[in-house]
Amino acid sequence: MNTLRTFVLLAALTAIFLAAGWLVAGEGGLLIAFVLALGMNLFSYWNADKIVLRMYHAREVDQNTAPQFHGIVAQLAENASLPMPKVYIIDNDQPNAFATGRNPENAAVAATTGLLRRLSSQEVAGVMAHELAHVKNRDTLTMTITATIAGAISMLANFAMFAGLFGGNNRDNPLGGMGALLVALLAPLAAMLVQMGISRTREYAADRAGAEICGQPLWLASALDKIAGAAKSHENRVAEKNPATAHMFIINPLSGKHFGSLFSTHPATSERVARLEALAREWGKTGSGGGNRPASPWG
């Protein structure tokens, strides 16, 4: 059901882009938007992960340059029966993390220096288990495509604003300047709402699957509780400039100071923590132990 819902929401996001193209330039705009949507999806499939990692200035690390963090990811990947992903660190004081890649064989996980500094090894394990759950569920491709289309809608909205103010008499535009202004005002909002739906659907599933991977729901619950507040007090400037990527992170990286940050792409942290605590009680994992798991770098 979650997969079907995600597919429907992705289709809705594409439909918003196509409708925006039609409102700006009529049938010609619809055709251009359709071709662009196909091209962007293909491009995203092969390259979006590299673009996002480069955008956030992520640096790849290994067992020599970041032995503890790399070891945690390696153990979790083994627990999840996943290929070892590439591991990255982002020099940013905001505690956060994300996963990307078109499939488990070409996946990458990234964490900020702020997250690694503030969290215990067990909490880091809970966060990275969540990110590997996204990889295992193949959410990473969905999230990168979503970011690409949402970013394109934002660019089209900016163009529409210009067209509405200075080129509203285009005869190919079915609603004239009003159509362009509608795109400028409503398309980003509609795209944001769809992003919220996609992210919230996938985050709850990844929280549960991540708890299964590390064996202890309370590790992630503690991490979410700790980083949610800290994330708000430390600005992520790259995310603020590229809000279409916000849904990729485990916690919303946007400060809420700008219009694009008014609607959260993530479920309420309190609800996520409550669900994980309920899961811990269901499993009888009320302590900090990780159950019958292999020896691990987090103790």
C-alpha torsion sign, points 162, 167, 169, 172: negative
Q: Give 136-170 pLDDT, tens digit per residue.
A: 988 887 776 776 777 777 777 776 666 555 455 55
Q: What average pLDDT does the segment 200-229 reach?
A: 92
130 is in an annotated binding site: yes
Q: pLDDT by residue (tens digit) across 4-34?
A: 656 676 677 777 777 777 776 667 767 777 7
**Terminal-residue alpha carbon distance, the chain:** 36
Q: Which residues are catalytic?
A: 131
Predicted structure pTM score:
0.77
Which 3 state secondary structure label does DSSP give 258?
A: coil
Q: What is the SS3 assignment for 294?
A: coil
Residue 160: per-residue pLDDT: 67
Q: Is 234 annotated as a binding residue?
A: no
